[in-house]
Chain A
Amino acid sequence: MREFKVVGKSVPKVDAFPLALGKPLFADDIELKGMLHAKILWSPHAHARIKNIDTGKTEALPGVHAVLCYKNVPRVVHTSAGQSWPEPSPYDIVMFDNKVRHVGDRVAAIAAETEEIAEKALKLIKVEYELLPAVFDPEQAMDEGAPVIHDEPDCKYLIPVFYDPKHNHCAHIDLEVGDFEQGMKEADFVIEHKFKTHHEQHCSIEPHTCICYFDHAGRLVIRTSTQVPFHVRRIVAQCLQVPERMIRVIKPRIGGGFGGKQEVLIDDVCAMLAMRTKRPVRLVYTREEEFTSARVRHPMVMWAKTGVRKDGTLTAIQLRVLSNAGAYGPHAMTVMNNTCAKALPLFHCENIKWIADAVYTNLIPGGAYRGYGVTQAAFPMGVMMDEMAETIGMDPVNFWKMNTIKKGETSPIFKALSETGKGVEMIVESCSLPECIDRGAEIFGWREKRERFKNQPEGPVKYGVGMSCMVQGGTVPLIDMASAFAKMNDDGSFNLLIGAADLGTGADTVLAQIFAETLDIPVEDVIVYPSDTDITPFDKGAYASGTTYLSGMAVLKTAEKIKEQILNVAADMLGEPKEDLRIENKAVISSKSGKRVEFSQIVKRALYIKDQFQIAAIASELSRLPPQSFAAHFAEVEVDTETGQVKVLSYVAAVDCGTAVNPKLAEGQVEGAILNGISYALTEEFFFDDKGRVLNPSFGDYKIFSAPDIPKITTILVPSYEPTGPYGAKTVGEVNINGPLPAISNAIYNAVGTRLYDTPFTSERVLNVLKEKGAD
């Protein structure tokens, strides 16, 4: 491994101190003079036409300053997905429509002097609904005669892809590489199962928060908890029908995103209310609204069929996917595509067939969620791998190693598909997955535990271990772009202006480290200013695990340009050729004469003495390929066969994220993703009634793991070196959420001999499955 000075070190987060001191850094931490409070009226019906809205009484209520509904806002079809233009999501949503498509859909909005008045005002709005039949089951959504959710004539995609809203068919793609049927013929064993994954909410501790106001020049400032400030600017401008130049988006510190904030969910309404009232307006979701009117992980029904030979060769894979997009289609196609594009390159298999559909239903819309489709596909694939290994009598460790992609190899999937459509050819130039499997198995005690659990203890409690491997390609190739700007100050420090969005992930710190490494300066000399569309250059935003890799390369290139300028000035000062000079410890040193000139002298010369100019640079980076990050996960569980309770006793994750620029932050990402994944696997669950209402929109009823529930998690970073990434770095944000579902399902099987194909593995589901098995 290469050694670095700043990269690879767990330096403290650049924003740790003010955060620890409780400084007012988050979107909702400011109180503006004359600020109004906004509230939204939500649909109580899953599917209905709004025949009329009477807002007369509401508008007459003292303290109410604006009421918005379909009658008084422009109808601009767009997508709420915060993706690059032209968005690969259907334009199927407007700010307010005369139709509601799920319980919790927008009906109207109010800005009032206080939240209390706004609440009161909501109750005075009279809405006349014409109820329509609704469809909730994705397997019935495309049936002839099913209610058409998007019957409006103006819904469309901007890009040429399949779209058939008249049959609730939001997206469809299929592909085949190799010859699936031939692969099946070559198999000694064929295994086939149906799987189901469930809804999941992001549960960011900070809810969606937006404050809009006008600056001294009359421009609209949007202070918002977003992962995608530049997409927010573009989409809000679109919705409000104003030029982008009228809008400035500022992303302050963020209390978690996980994909939920890759969405223009409230910014358009808040901005429109500010426009109408000419007053600052604050709109903050309640926790209940996060559960009823935000976005969720797409639930999917999946049919997997695989063929394997006795010698362990994986001859064919078929994955059929039916994704429940809910009432709108943000990210519906791209998430669906990733169940193939970013999940299946993991496997050594020449014959792969994949058929996928996303359908509209009258439930809460899906959206971006950490893992982005790969999490869904990793579950059936991880379970199928376990079952195939068992069928041929091979240890899963060996079977996984034999059937996963290695350094120097490629997958036909890379070229065939990306999340937006056609893919790019690539060779995996960094991969330590085999070492991850070996080291993970060793530290977990895989062989010893597999042996031990062949003999289960007496009594109702059984024990088991399971594993799974995973991949997640980072960035959207040939679309995602990031850029950075930096300038040098009198004392040799630098301002680093980045469009990248730190969501609490530590991106600002990691990018400062990459900059500092390149110029051989301490991190303290990098003053990071992030995510302000007026000031920082463009960045696609924080998604697809791309910030360290892509924004990191933009920062590195910026620093290199600055380095050239510094060396030019130093060469002039020292009277020596640039080629003899090198940068070291905030100074330029001549390798020949040994003479040295400090950064502070160089910058003063540039600013004040001779041929004055600002040492500064801007650079962009376009993603050419999706770097592949890998992990091998091992779970040990305890299953109480009388109560169905599953407890994860220990969990080991061995992770290849290339170079970990900041190991502590990388470990934080790994542990966070695993915890997120275990909680999803065991307890998180949406309940809907037969009218499509969410029955458990609170942390009291929707259970996420908290501190006492966390099992022992061991993270092992197994480095590789990605030549296209900054100092060998790849990505780490998402890949590890793909492990818990299959690893825990496999561990439960190891303990009790019963497989779980439907999620989550709640006590009740496990007990039911055990009882069914007992009844057989």
Chain B
Amino acid sequence: MLNDLEYFEPETISDVITFLAKHGKDTKLIAGGTDLLVDMKKGKVKPKYLVNLMKIPELSHIIEDGGGLRIGATTTFREIEESKLIKEKYPLLFEAARAMGTVQIRNMATIGGNICNALPSADIPPALVALDAKAKIVGQSGERFLPLEEFFVGIRKTALESDELIREVHVKSPPAGSGTAFLKIGRTASDLATLNVAVRVTLENNGACKEVRVVVGGGVGPTLIRSKRAETLLEGKILEEPLIEKTAREVSKELKPRPTSIRASPFYKIEVSKVLVKRALMKALGRAKAGEDR
């Protein structure tokens, strides 16, 4: 049941900021609504004001700019999945976007909404973190950029102030010599992730690993986990299967899955993380060597 609330459809970002400055604490911003409306119907969230962002043209776009990509906050998963630019140059984002929910959900759900809902099981945040993405946040006091991994501070908790909103997500173009991979385990195709893994491997000209990102999501802690251990173990090394396997085992030690999850026990998540991290690293390495991710 939806409680009594006031509903607004502003057409500019500045209107939203003005509104939030006044009522931020009592307001929920809504984009696709695929999470928020469910929570509202269950009575988990009871905002006084509901502000729809979908009528703001300047929030929806996929633009290649400088050395990277700018994705507007209300860009839908379906738009990301169907963008030729993303599929060709940011295949990791394509794979992660496509892994989320069903087509019907992807038609509605937005990248900004997904990030702001901050579920530890979300699929696109690990991919974004693996690409060193930043959130462009706007509010009364101007704009700021925050690396996405710092944006998530807990289950459904973000670093966003009550008078702020995400305007865009900025993704750097993966450096030359990069390969990426996204792997997910769920019970069905439309399920939330039991576990997901996003990996980027960037190789030097001599074949050594210049930079690596291993990001694990799917409820392995209050937020996704960017494995620093993997970066320490792999960067500067020639990547071979035994080292990758060892790294995968080390990464699994950084995970802290909750015992209350219905989707799988902590034991299963840990076991499978070793498998998925290894497979994702091997796949990304293969792609980096083949120059698939340019």
Whether the pair A708, B268 counts as a contact (CB closer than 8 A) is no
Distance in angstroms between the alpha carbons of A696 and B190 in the assembled complex:
16
B188 with A705: CB separation less than 8 A? yes
With both beta carbons as reference points, the residue of chain A lying nearest to B272 in the complex is identified as: A643
Is the CB–CB distance between A687 and B187 below 8 Å?
Answer: no
Could you tell me if B185 and A706 are in contact, using CB atoms closer than 8 angstroms? Answer: no
Interface residues of B in 185-200 (CB under 8 A from A): 185, 187-192, 194
Q: Which residues of B contact A642 (CB under 8 A)?
A: 272, 275
List residues 701-716 of chain A with CB under 8 A from any CB of chain B: 701, 703-706, 708-709
Q: Are B189 and A706 within 8 A (Cβ)?
A: yes
Q: In whole angstroms, what is the CA distance A709 to B187 when docked? A: 10
Within 8 A of B (CB), among A670-686: 682-683
In the complex, are the beta carbons of A701 and B262 less than 8 A apart? yes
Bitwise, B259-272 to A at CB < 8 A (1) or not (0) is 00011110010011
How close is A410's CB to chain B, nearest CB, in angstroms? 43
Q: Which B residues lie within 8 Å of A701 (CB)?
A: 262-263
Q: Which residue of A lies closest to B269 (CB)?
A: A764
User: Within 8 Å of chain B (Cβ to Cβ): is A471?
Assistant: no
Instruction: List A723-775 residues whose CB lies under 8 Å from chain B.
Output: 762-764, 767
Flag whether A700 is at the interface (Cβ < 8 A): yes
A644 to B264, CA, bound (A): 12
Known: A642-B275, A708-B102. A703 touches B268 (CB 8 A): no
Provide the residues of chain A in CB contact with B185, threshold 8 Å: 643, 645, 763
For window 170-194 of B, CB contacts with A under 8 Å fall at 185, 187-192, 194
How distant is A210 from chain B, measured CB to nearest CB, in Å? Answer: 20
Name the A residues within 8 Å of B190 (CB-CB).
706, 708
Give the interface residue-count category, chain B.
10 to 19
Residues of the A chain whose Cβ atoms lie less than 8 Å from the Cβ of B102 = 706, 708
Asked whether, in the complex, the Cβ of B275 is within 8 Å of the Cβ of A764, the reply is: no
Residue in B1, B187, B191, B262 whose Cβ sees the most chain A Cβ within 10 Å: B187
Which chain A residues lie closer than 8 Å to B191 at the CB level? Answer: 703
> What's the Cα separation between A695 and B263 when bound, in Å?
11
Instruction: Tell whether A709 pairs with B189 under 8 Å between CB atoms, given A115-B1, A695-B262, A767-B268.
Output: yes
* A-B pairs under 8 A by CB, number: 50
A116, CB-defined interface residue at 8 Å = yes
Contact digits for A682-700, partner B, Cβ 8 Å, 1 yes 0 no:
1100010000000110001
Question: How far apart sit A696 and B191, CA to CA, in the bound complex (Å)?
Answer: 13
In the complex formed, the residue of A with least CB distance to B278 is A642
- What separation, in Å, do the CA atoms of A575 and B188 have in the docked complex? 70
Q: Bound complex: CA of A763 vs CA of B187, how far in Å?
A: 8
How far in angstroms is the closest Cβ of chain A from B8? 22
- How many Å lie between the Cα of A645 and that of B271 in the bound state? 13
User: B122 to nearest A CB, angstroms?
Assistant: 14
B189 surroundings in chain A (CB, below 8 A) = 706, 708-709
| Cβ 8 A contact of B188, one of A115, A687, A695, A709 | A709
Q: Which residue of B lies closest to A765 (CB)?
A: B268
Give bound CA distance, A119 to B192, whole Å.
30
**Quick one: CB contact mask for A424-445 with B, threshold 8 Å, 1 for yes?**
0000000000000000000000
In Å, the complex CA distance between A709 and B185 comes to: 13
**Minimum CB–CB distance for B276 against chain A, Å:** 8
Interface residues of B in 221-255 (CB under 8 A from A): none
Inter-chain contacts of B272 with A (CB < 8 A): 642-644, 763, 767
Interfacial chain B residues near A119, Cβ < 8 Å? 1
Q: A706-B188, A706-B190 are in contact. Are A764 and B1 (CB under 8 A)?
A: no
Look across to chain B and name the residue whose beta carbon is closest to the beta carbon of A640: B275
**A695 (CB) vs chain B CBs: closest residue:** B262
Contact A764 B188 (CB under 8 A): no
Closest B residue to A704 by beta carbon equals B188
Q: Is the CB of B268 within 8 A of A764?
A: yes
Report the separation of the CA atoms of residues A682 and B194 in the bound assembly, to the nearest whole angstrom: 15
Residues of B within 8 A of A695 (CB): 262
Minimum CB–CB distance from A31 to chain B (whole Å) comes to 18
A407 to B192 alpha-carbon distance, docked (Å): 49
Q: In the complex, are the beta carbons of B268 and A763 less than 8 A apart? A: yes
Bound: A709/B190 CA distance, A: 9
Report the separation of the CA atoms of residues A705 and B190 in the bound assembly, to the nearest whole angstrom.
Answer: 9
The A-contacting residues of B in range 49-83, CB under 8 angstroms, are none
- Which single member of B1, B188, B192, B271 contacts A683 (CB below 8 Å)? B188
Which residue of chain B has its CB nearest to the CB of A288? B42
Residues on the A chain within 8 Å of B1, using CB: 115-116, 119
* Closest A residue to B279 using CB positions: A642
Q: Report yes or no: A764 in contact with B262, Cβ–Cβ below 8 A.
A: no
CB distance from A351 to the nearest CB of B (A): 42
8 shortest A-B CB distances, which residue pairs? A708-B189, A642-B275, A703-B187, A764-B268, A683-B187, A703-B188, A696-B262, A709-B188
With A700-B192, A706-B102, A708-B190 already in contact, 6 other A-B pairs whose C-beta atoms are closer than 8 Å: A116-B1, A643-B276, A706-B190, A709-B188, A763-B187, A764-B265
Residues of B within 8 A of A (CB): 1, 102, 185, 187-192, 194, 262-265, 268, 271-272, 275-276
For this complex, 13 residue pairs linking A to B, each with C-beta atoms less than 8 Å apart, are: A116-B1, A643-B276, A682-B187, A683-B187, A695-B262, A703-B187, A703-B191, A705-B188, A706-B188, A706-B189, A762-B187, A763-B194, A763-B268
